[in-house]
Structure 1
């Protein structure tokens, strides 16, 4: 009986590792294929798209960089960083008020904020375009900053609130006895205790903003404010015959977020497990 159970355990492990290996190939191979095609010429690409490049030159990457990818990258970095700081700070402050402060209609305010999770961005596109045009914000950096912040606050607040609920109330009482105000208690005590979930929300927001396409496509039309997803589409339409250059641009766009994900994936899992999983 023991031998049979051991044999079944070995079979189960073999199938598990085979599944994980197949999943890794499915995820990694498209990235590797895209990277290799960035080194080819058009003739090589159409001749045998799965062969190795004959000349390992970075010329296509240089062309992609000079044809606007550098500008798109700069815009994406600025929009991502500013919206991340704004979203996480506002959401953390809102979560603090909803969980640590006794305010009237607390549950109603919580329901209203979290109700934003049910608002589909596509439903609000037309009125938002009209509003931003009337305010002079259309096709500006501020349009993307406001949109990425506003539409991510409900989700980020939900995550941070779920974590703050389980923080001990004794720390608030101790801070009040030491003469600390709300702001001091929030900034110096509560936020450091929320480091795991804050790290998770920062990484999740970066991943969302970096790859977001709908808002970036509709609310920007000039090359000076276009982010990488929209900019790569423009690169393809302008230089569509040079597909290796397009692949090179895609690699440049994907590399930062891929590295960030692999470096921070354990923080994402830990923060979410410590928060919602409680």
Structure 2
């Protein structure tokens, strides 16, 4: 390796190291200040805590974050499972079967990406009240699934198009039917895009505020975004506990991205050449 190449690689590594620190520092600041008292937070917000107040996290959990956290976990998990199940079946059908009107059906599905959730707020509110789902977990799950499905179908269809058809033809010769191909070939080979779709839709659902605020009025059913707003009103003078609550709220999505980062990148790049 020439000196010029070594210098070039060193500059690249330094750049990515500085960029990583730039991204990670706000998270570290959040965790660090969640361990401080009010006076220490205001006097020196950039230093390490002199006394590590781990009870701030316990206080935030007991103040209601625990209930909101489990509500968000439940709503997000159920929504993501339904999105992956329905989206993968739709994407498989749209990528493999040719029938009259398939292109129009795909266009109709993708047109859902152009519908802003804010536009449908009043009509959804009336519908949920009429069918008896208002102020339940399903009042959040059903709209989340409906609004995230077009994006998930778009992602998964592009990936499924890149899976060789020869594998399916071989399976058919061995006596495998359409459901068998879907279960034993498409889903196992599509794990990267399933992980990508799960992460992207899960993050959107986890952070959604508007529907969670309007469609649920029972405090025991509310999710993390609305819960953090309530926590702020309850603890408007205790910033350490508020920051601890924010840390708890951000932790699941950070862990999910760290665990599934390889599948996430593979899923977004493998199907990018077809559409």
Provide the TM-score with structure 2 as the length reference.
0.92
SS at 1:180's partner residue?
Answer: coil
1:82 aligns with 2:90: no
Aligned to 1:239: 235
Q: CA deviation at 1:64?
A: 0.5
**Superposed, which structure 2 residues align to 1:113-152 within 5 Å?**
113-152=109-148
1:228 aligns with 2:224: yes
Q: CA deviation at 1:51?
A: 2.3
Q: Which residue among 209, 214, 219 is the counterpart of 1:213? A: 209
C-alpha distance in structure 2 between counterparts of 1:14 and 1:247, whole Å:
37
Q: Which runs of 5+ in 1 are unaligned?
A: none
Q: CA deviation at 1:137?
A: 1.6
Aligned to 1:174: 170
Aligned to 1:40: 36
Q: Deviations over 1:129-181 (max 9, x none)?
A: 22212222222100111111111111110111011112222333333333333
**Superposed, which structure 2 residues align to 1:1-278 within 5 Å?**
6-7=3-4, 9=5, 12-278=8-274
SS at 1:152's partner residue?
Answer: helix
Q: CA deviation at 1:12?
A: 4.5
C-alpha distance in structure 1 between counterparts of 2:118 and 2:163, whole Å:
36
C-alpha distance in structure 2 between counterparts of 1:178 and 1:14, whole Å:
54
Return 159-168 or 170-179, whichever deviates more: 170-179
Q: CA deviation at 1:18?
A: 4.0
Q: Which runs of 5+ in 2 are unaligned?
A: none
C-alpha distance in structure 1 between counterparts of 2:190 and 2:110, whole Å:
20
Q: CA deviation at 1:266?
A: 2.1
**How many pairs align?**
274
Q: Deviations over 1:226-259 (max 9, x none)?
A: 1111111110011111111111111111112112
Q: Deviations over 1:53-74 (max 9, x none)?
A: 2211311111101111110111
C-alpha distance in structure 2 between counterparts of 1:166 and 1:20, whole Å:
31
Provide the TM-score with structure 1 as the length reference.
0.91
User: Residues 173 and 13 of structure 1: is their aligned pair in 2 closer, same or farther, counting only changes over 3 Å?
Assistant: closer
